Structure 1
Amino acid sequence: MNLMFISNEDRADQWRDNLTALLPDLNFYVWPDDQAVDPATIDYVLAWKPAPGIIKRFPNLKAILSLGAGIDGITCDPELPIDKPLVHLVDRSLTQGMVQFALYWVLHFHRQMGTYQKFAEARTWRQLPQAEVDACRVGILGFGELGQAVGSALAAQHFDVAGWSRSPKQIAGITSYAGAEALPGFLGRSDMLICLLPLTPETEGIIDAALLAALPRGAIVINLARGRHLVDADLLAALDSGHLSAAVLDVFYNEPLAAEHPFWAHEKVTVTPHIAALTSPRSGADSVAANIERIERGETPLNLIDLARGY
């Protein structure tokens, strides 16, 4: 078996060590160092943000394997061969990281830790009234695998959790909203909105002025999906008007976020550098190796992407 690794953002050596330990018969090549290898012999591409046209050089691929939970780092290639199976990465470490990050920020706001930090800086001893946890309504915009994992963790802490997705889901302790007609009702009950949508042409720019206006006054937006879901100017306007009370942004339209971007200095915005959920070569290799083994046995890989839907 021959695999070509294509990424400038991931550690090829760590992926090689972990994958070849699991798949001793795997020949692991790295682009562009190994571009002299006959492209017709490459069975798999493991990639993130390849330059346009690279993947189509390999005519006999059994699958294209994404290094990320999303696939926008693959579908960004305008010359991507659409006749090859495309598989996204489901990594237990990445999922755990996303759950931890989301839970941290929901608890941060629910327990008013930002205000208490200001009290501490002013050496002020003051206790605030604390709302019951089941009165805090959290909405998860995008209820796929990551959204369901986050929702289940929040529901286990007794938050009032709802999830919105294209099709209905049945997850214990969580209210499901599905389809465009259900979106206004979902937004209207979401005191905290966590975006975990896949990035598709339909979801790009979805967090705009109209969506934000449908949230309750004082709502909080937490974007952990992709920066292109958010219309930056509309979020800033909603914060400045007082309609939103805060935002946590881990992803941005352009990354790294430019030093002059107003998000950095806005008192209601917390910026983190796309670290909510990082892919681990150690745990990620387990998922990649398992799918390669399935394909080699003639089975359908897990986490196969429907390119028509974009996820």
Structure 2
Amino acid sequence: MKVLVHHDDAERWQKALASRLPEAEILTSAAPTDKRRQADYLAVWKPPESLLREPEALKGIINLGAGVDALLNNPGLPADVPIVKLRDAGMAEPIGDYVRYGLLHFQRDFDRYRRQQRRREWREHAMTDKDDWPVGVLGLGAIGARVATMIAADGFPTHGWSRSPKHIDGVTCHHGDNGLATLLGRVKSLVLLLPDTPATRHIINDETLSRLPEGASLINPGRGSLINEAALLDALGDGETEGRLRGAILDAFPEEPLPEASPLWSHPRIRVTPHMAGPTPLGEALDQVASALRTLEAGESLDTVDPTAGY
């Protein structure tokens, strides 16, 4: 079994994967062309088009992350090759902590105190109890379900939404178009953890933002394509006074790094972070990758990505 690794930290992944798969030959994309052509499997993160076209008898692709949009949108992606993505692999916990920070940022009025500090204004705001701060989580996959459970355990009334029905203890689950409308009308903070698919692109738009209660907030540690930027900026207003939307914490963007000219950088009601909410813990990820490769090599069934669905 020959596995070709492409990643910003490819040598580290190569060494760690070799220790888990001593029976395999683990290469990186820096290997000679003839070696790359012989690869049975690719273990990759945002590979170039040329790399996807090189293997002559590819058996499978492991996506070294939970988001597969960059891979599925790559014109070099071969047809009819099974794709396996990381499913949580330890990312849910740090993403959950990121969301918890975001919720406290708004629920405890840290956004307002920050603006008051700039004005040297000393004024306390009455605290809203957690049980009066309903939270909505869009996307109830492996990560979204775990994050929703963490939020509920913290005492926030938690609503979750997915395309098809789900059941999660402690979470009020909604589904379908009617369920989305119901959830949006009830929550003070909205968390985005959906995949990037044709059905989810710009799911946050003028219409959906208008359904949120006045003064709601948005937290996006998911995919940048979920938000219509113009609609978000319109809902936030000019920043001097609160618009319909109170504020947003954004970790993912359609173009990364976020261009210097983007108005998101300077908007006083937006906090920008550089796609750091859910770093991939190497150990757990490698265990998943090694297990998936052995399963594929054995010809056994495996939960693979559906390219038409986008996840």
The percent identity for this pair of structures is: 37
TM-score by length of 1: 0.92
Q: What is the DSSP-based 3-state SS (H/G/I as helix, E as strand, rest coil) of the residue aligned with 1:29?
A: strand
2:111 equivalent to 1:114: yes
2:294 equivalent to 1:297: no
| 2:276 partner letter | I
| 1:288 partner letter | V
Q: What is the DSSP-based 3-state SS (H/G/I as helix, E as strand, rest coil) of the residue aligned with 1:140?
A: strand
2:260 equivalent to 1:259: yes
The whole-number CA distance in structure 1 between the counterparts of 2:244 and 2:121 is 28
- In the TM superposition, residue 82 of structure 1 has moved relative to its aligned partner by 2.7
Partner of 1:268: 269
Q: What is the DSSP-based 3-state SS (H/G/I as helix, E as strand, rest coil) of the residue aligned with 1:128?
A: coil
Partner of 1:4: 4
- In the TM superposition, residue 114 of structure 1 has moved relative to its aligned partner by 2.7
Give the RMSD, CA atoms, in angstroms: 1.9
The whole-number CA distance in structure 2 between the counterparts of 1:33 and 1:114 is 49
Q: What is the DSSP-based 3-state SS (H/G/I as helix, E as strand, rest coil) of the residue aligned with 2:90?
A: helix
- Deviation string, structure 1 residues 239-288 (Cα, Å, up to 9, x no partner): 00710000011111211111121111111000111111112333311110
Among 5, 8, 28, the residue aligned to 1:30:
28
Query: Residues 266, 123 of structure 1: CA spacing in aligned structure 2 closer, same or farther, 3 A cutoff?
Result: closer
Alignment of 1:37-52 (within 5 A): 37=35, 39=37, 41-52=38-49
Among 65, 72, 77, the residue aligned to 2:74:
77
| 1:86 partner letter | I
The whole-number CA distance in structure 1 between the counterparts of 2:279 and 2:36 is 32
| 2:49 partner letter | P
Partner of 1:181: 178
Q: What is the DSSP-based 3-state SS (H/G/I as helix, E as strand, rest coil) of the residue aligned with 1:37?
A: helix
Is the 1:139–1:192 Cα contact (8 Å) retained in structure 2?
yes
The whole-number CA distance in structure 2 between the counterparts of 1:194 and 1:306 is 24
| 2:212 partner letter | L
- Point out the more displaced range, 41-50 or 263-272: 41-50
How many residue pairs get aligned? The number is 307
Partner of 1:147: 144
Query: Residues 38, 46 of structure 1: CA spacing in aligned structure 2 closer, same or farther, 3 A cutoff?
Result: closer
- Deviation string, structure 1 residues 172-195 (Cα, Å, up to 9, x no partner): 010111112321111111211111
2:303 equivalent to 1:306: no
Alignment of 1:236-247 (within 5 A): 236-240=233-237, 242-247=243-248
Flag structure 2 segments of 5+ consecutive residues without an equivalent: none
2:277 equivalent to 1:279: no
